[in-house]
Amino acid sequence: EKQKLKRIKTTVAATLDGTMVELYANIELPSDVEQVKENGATGIGLFRSEFLFLNRSTLPDEDEQFEAYRTVARKMRGLPVTIRTFDLGADKNLDSAKRVAANPALGLRAIRLSLAEPQMFNTQLRAILRASRYGQIRILVPMLSSVAEITQTLHLIENAKQSLRQEKISFDESIQIGGMVEIPAAALSLDVFMRKLDFLSIGTNDLIQYTLAIDRADDSVAHLYDSLHPAVLRLVAHIIRSANRTGIPVAVCGEIAGDIIFTRLLLGFGLRLFSMHPAQLLTVKREVLRSSLPDIMPFTRKILKSDDPDKIHALLTKLNS
Ligand code: PEP
Ligand code: MG
């Protein structure tokens, strides 16, 4: 089975009707790149950089981060490497964190923490920018919820660029900056996100948590964490369609991107860029290779119209058979 899958490692991901799809990988550490290559990913859609900060007592300094980002950029040989700025707080806490928030998922995490700790953020931004001349690096900002956060973030990135210019340190001047859409407020105010950012990536893990008010880390409500909830499907479809209409690249990098139950549905929503754990890549590719957009579309429309979970499940089973 595994052997068979390996045969499609270099096969271009396209549906039966010839629609091209990009399959990127999610990584946590530079050492994951081996697995990315083994499974034929055409880019890294999510480098969860916060893993460089975990399980240690000191923060990684600029040079250490630079080395890590450069290693990944070099190993990917010009393929896109999307580095998410640290998403610390919530479920991924620093050992040195002073307080544990009563409700960490709604607390000072991700970009909120970055904006509250501008020096720590600047260190990371400089490291990413310095590494950007060794490959095709893109910056991805987690947990954006408002235009003010976007403006502040872009301002801090510009400051970091300016300081490098003054020090005559080169970097990719046209580095792309994208935002994660993982808070309902972001999904419902996409226009401003699309005006200010170069690309979007849908973080369905958090988007589901915040849409359904289900703590993704709480086992007692895990049975209510429903990726197929009509509200979730409509929100995800809305984001993909809006981005496609505007011509802004959009990916899904949450767990559903690597789950073949969702492959055809997401293709039907218009998704052409999936980013997932490298181990899932070839299985998803096989699913793409045996799918046909004209066959998928009628199901997609019916699924989006339905607010009956049983009907949605039945339609999806039919779509996937
Ligand atoms: C997500 O929220 O879907 C996501 C990809 O990011 P993380 O799982 O790291 O929060
Ligand atoms: Mg997330």
Instruction: Report CA torsion sign: 125, 126, 128, 133.
Output: positive
pLDDT at 102: 79
pLDDT at 90: 64
Instruction: Report CA torsion sign: 28, 33, 35, 38.
Output: positive
Tell me, in angstroms, the distance from the centre of ligand 2 to residue 200's CA.
Answer: 13
Q: Which of 44, 48, 92, 227 to mutate to test the pocket of ligand 1 (most atoms within 8 A of CB)?
A: 48
Q: Please give the Cα distance from 241 to 231 (Å, whole number).
A: 15
Decide: 38 and 278 in contact? Cβ < 8 Å. yes
Beta strand 250-252 pairing with 44-48: unpaired
pLDDT at 99: 57
Backbone angles phi, psi at 199, to 5 degrees: -160, 165
Tell me, in angstroms, the distance from the centre of ligand 1 to residue 129's CA.
Answer: 23
Task: Give the pLDDT of the chain (321 residues) as one tens digit per residue.
Answer: 888 999 999 999 999 999 999 999 999 999 999 999 999 999 999 999 999 999 999 999 999 999 999 999 999 999 999 999 999 986 666 665 555 677 889 999 999 999 999 999 999 999 999 999 999 999 999 999 999 999 999 999 999 999 999 999 999 999 999 999 999 999 999 999 999 999 999 999 999 999 999 999 999 999 999 999 999 999 999 999 999 999 999 999 999 999 999 999 999 999 999 999 999 999 999 999 999 999 999 999 999 999 999 999 999 999 999
Is residue 278 lining ligand 1, measured as CB closer than 6 Å? no
Decide: 200 and 137 in contact? Cβ < 8 Å. no
Global pTM reads 0.97
Tell me, in angstroms, the distance from the centre of ligand 1 to residue 254's CA.
Answer: 5
- Please give the distance of CA 199 from its chain centroid, rounded to a whole number: 11
pLDDT at 101: 74
Beta strand 22-27 pairing with 44-48: parallel
Question: How many C-beta atoms surround the C-beta of residue 79 within 10 A?
Answer: 16
Q: Please give the Cα distance from 155 to 230 (Å, whole number).
A: 37
Complex confidence, ipTM: 0.99
pLDDT at 97: 58
User: Burial letters for 208-226: b for 16+ Cβ neighbours within 10 Å, e otherwise?
Assistant: bbbbbebbbeeeeeeeebb
Question: How many C-beta atoms surround the C-beta of residue 247 within 10 A?
Answer: 7
Decide: 184 and 190 in contact? Cβ < 8 Å. no
Q: Is 29 exposed, middle or buried (0-12, 13-18, 19+ CB in 10 A)?
A: middle
Q: Is 182 exposed, middle or buried (0-12, 13-18, 19+ CB in 10 A)?
A: buried
Among residues 95, 94, 117, 92, the alpha carbon closest in space to that of 105 is found at: 92
Is residue 254 lining ligand 1, measured as CB closer than 6 Å? yes
